A = this chain, B = another copy of it.
């Protein structure tokens, strides 16, 4: 093992740093987004129980949108960690 391999290793260290922090930030995004959606949907069902199916449809659709982006970002973070 010579100096160049070590310097190469050093480069990977920042990848792991950024990957893990990026995955954490993605989880914050999912929390902010899906949290508001879930709060709005549960309160909406309580206000108008007859519309529960419509409300649930909108809830699942928007939550899936947020989830898609967040999972994609977590996978990007995982790839940076595993590199």
Mark A residues whose CB is within 8 Å of B: 1-4, 6-52, 54-83
Contact = CB atoms under 8 A, between A and B. Distances in A.
Contacts of A45: 44, 46, 48, 51, 54-55, 58
Give the number of copies in the complex: 3
A64 B65 CA distance: 8
Main secondary structure of the interface of A (DSSP, over half): helix
Nearest to A20: B22
A34 to B, nearest CB: 5
Nearest to A28: B29
Contacts of A64: 65
Contacts of A30: 27, 29, 31, 33, 65-66, 69-70
